[in-house]
Amino acid sequence: MKIWNLKDRSNQIIGAIDVGTTKICALIGKKKQEGIEILGIGLSSAKGISKGNIIDIKKASRAINEAIFLAKEIAQEEPQIFLVSSAGSYWSSANVENEILLGRTGKEVTLKEVEKVIQGVKAQVDLTGKKVIHLLPQAYQLDEQKGITNPQGMIGTRLKAYVHLISIMDTQYHNLLKSFQEAGVEVSELVFQPLASAVSVLTPLEREMGVVLADIGGGTTDVVIFHRDVVRYSAVIPLGGEHITSDLAIGLRTTKEEAETIKVQHGCAFSHHLSEEDTIEVRDLGSSSLQSISRKLMCQIIEARAREIGTFLAREIRKSGLYRSLKGGLVITGGAAALEGFSDLLSAVTGLPTRIGVPENTNLDGMVQTLSHPMFAAACGLLQLGTFLGSSQDSTRFFFHRQANQGKNFLQQLKDYFMLE
Ligand SMILES: Nc1ncnc2c1ncn2[C@@H]1O[C@H](COP(=O)(O)OP(=O)(O)O)[C@@H](O)[C@H]1O
Ligand SMILES: [Mg+2]
């Protein structure tokens, strides 16, 4: 993995590659005074990847190469750095605590102690076969005082850190980097996908008030929960839009391709209000003849699976213990979030006000219209993260973020993380 250093920070052309379960999306952007201009987009279907995990390095690297090639053709620029996002069942997370002694008589906390207590969480969990990707501090305790957001400058005898640790299995980490290497891409940073989506679709107020972000992709639903602008919980649910398509193909006796088209054109996740009369034409499996079926029946098949996704999501929210703190509600993104009625259904199942998150951050410029779909949330968020890395506007401030380290909001934490690794 390429180690980021301060000299590299004058880089202006940034590549962001989101490895999804159905598609690989490559974006190339140019850092501007304010935000970033999108110069190129490339899409390829995620071959050699199943549920977000690499299952064939050769095929995966070809698919990665294809997406980047297309993006470069449009952009006519070569990125100097590449950020990559991924999710899948090989990712895992945990809330971990660690405590260090500062000295019997009390000592002032500096960056050194803060880094030591954060890095020390790695020794508190079994990380056999895992590679730590994110260490996101949540809060600190100094002696008896809890809920400290930045302990630097304070005096105490014991410093405790509460950290959200996100890791990926070593083997998958290797396979991912190898696939990129074979595609001729040196990965600068790897990001857990829903964190990237959070950057492009959540508002700072939502993150502060408490919000669930669910990126509902093809094979997985990736979840991250914020409260007081820090990550409290994350999870990967092994269900997504492709499961809905498979159910439809079986239920309607048709091909997956036909089922996918019907789902996108006529699908709805809330079937009770639909009329019994409406019908749609479906091509029968193994013949070219068309059969007429009730749209309501078709949507009932969709609803059953969509409800299951909602039930799993509600379970994760319960497990987080944060339900009562989620005043910002639920924000759904990822391609499947575009399914008609899905946000209403999820609102009913989880009991949280729900909206669809589309990457619409104003500091993205250029081909924004094309990217105005929830399926591009992660790629857009990654590119935005890349601008923080590539920012040369104020290197001392950037470095200062690392020095100050805590008491920072989520985005600044991510910046810190990149510098710390
Ligand atoms: N308008 C739509 N209605 C229903 N489902 C959709 C729509 N657009 C995309 N999808 C579904 O979104 C899923 C892909 O989402 P995406 O976020 O691109 O996945 P990934 O990032 O995992 O590759 C597919 O299952 C696809 O059928
Ligand atoms: Mg995705």
Backbone angles phi, psi at 310, to 5 degrees: -60, -40
Range name among 8-22, 247-261, 303-317, 329-343 with the lowest pLDDT average: 8-22
Whether ligand 1 lies within 6 angstroms of the CB of 338 is answered as yes
Q: Where in the chain is the domain with CATH 3.30.420.40?
A: 241-307
Mean pLDDT score of the chain = 88
- Which residue has its alpha carbon closest to ligand 1 atom 27? 241
Choose between 402 and 367: higher pLDDT: 367
Which of the pair, 420 or 192, is modelled with greater confidence? 192
What share of the chain has pLDDT > 90, as a percent?
Answer: 70
Q: Ligand 1 in contact with 156 (CB < 6 A)?
A: no
Do you know the residue count of the chain? 421
Q: Please report the pLDDT score of residue 189 as a whole number.
A: 87
Output the pLDDT for position 273.
Answer: 83
pLDDT of residue 8: 44
Per-residue pLDDT, 277: 83
Residue whose CA lies nearest to ligand 1 atom number 25 = 241
Q: What is the pLDDT of residue 241?
A: 97
- Is the C-beta atom of 113 inside 6 A of ligand 1? no
pLDDT of residue 36: 83
Beta strand 81-86 with 189-192 is parallel
d(CA 202, CA 182): 34
| 404/348: higher pLDDT | 348
Among 309, 339, 342, 343, the mutation site with the greatest number of ligand 1 atoms within 8 A of its Cβ is: 339
Q: Among residues 364, 384, 337, 405, which one has the least CA distance to residue 152?
A: 405
Judge contact between 83 and 389, C-beta under 8 A.
yes
* pLDDT score, position 386: 82
Least confident among 50-64, 86-100, 126-140, 284-298: 284-298
Q: In the beta sheet, which residues pair with residue 367?
A: none
Assign domain 241-307 to its CATH superfamily: ATPase, nucleotide binding domain (3.30.420.40)
Residue 241 C-alpha to ligand 1 middle, in angstroms? 6
C-alpha 66 – ligand 2 centre gap (Å): 18
| Ligand 1 atom closest to residue 377's alpha carbon, by position in its atom list | 17
Question: From the CB of 242, is ligand 1 less than 6 Å away?
Answer: yes
Paired with 130 in beta bridges are 169
- The pLDDT value recorded for residue 326 is 98
Question: Are the C-beta atoms of residues 343 and 310 closer than 8 Å to each other?
Answer: no
CATH 3.40.30.10 fits 93-166, yes or no: no
Q: What is the pLDDT of residue 385?
A: 84
CA of 188 to the centre of ligand 1 (A): 27
Higher local confidence (pLDDT), 395 or 208: 208
pLDDT grade, residue 406 (50/70/90)?
Answer: very low
Residue 131, beta-bridge partner list = 168
Closest CA to 416 of 134, 175, 103: 134
Q: Ligand 2: distance of its center to the CA of 174 in Å?
A: 20
Ligand 1 pocket: which of 247, 264, 345 to mutate (most atoms within 8 A of CB): 264
Q: Is the pLDDT of residue 135 over 60?
A: yes
Closest CA to 175 of 246, 266, 84: 84
Is pLDDT of 33 > 90?
no
Q: What is the DSSP string of 3-56?
A: PP-GGGGG--EEEEEEE-SSEEEEEEEEE-SSSEEEEEEEEEE-TTEETTEES-
pLDDT at 402 over 50: no
Domain(s) of CATH 3.30.1490.110: residues in the chain: 93-166
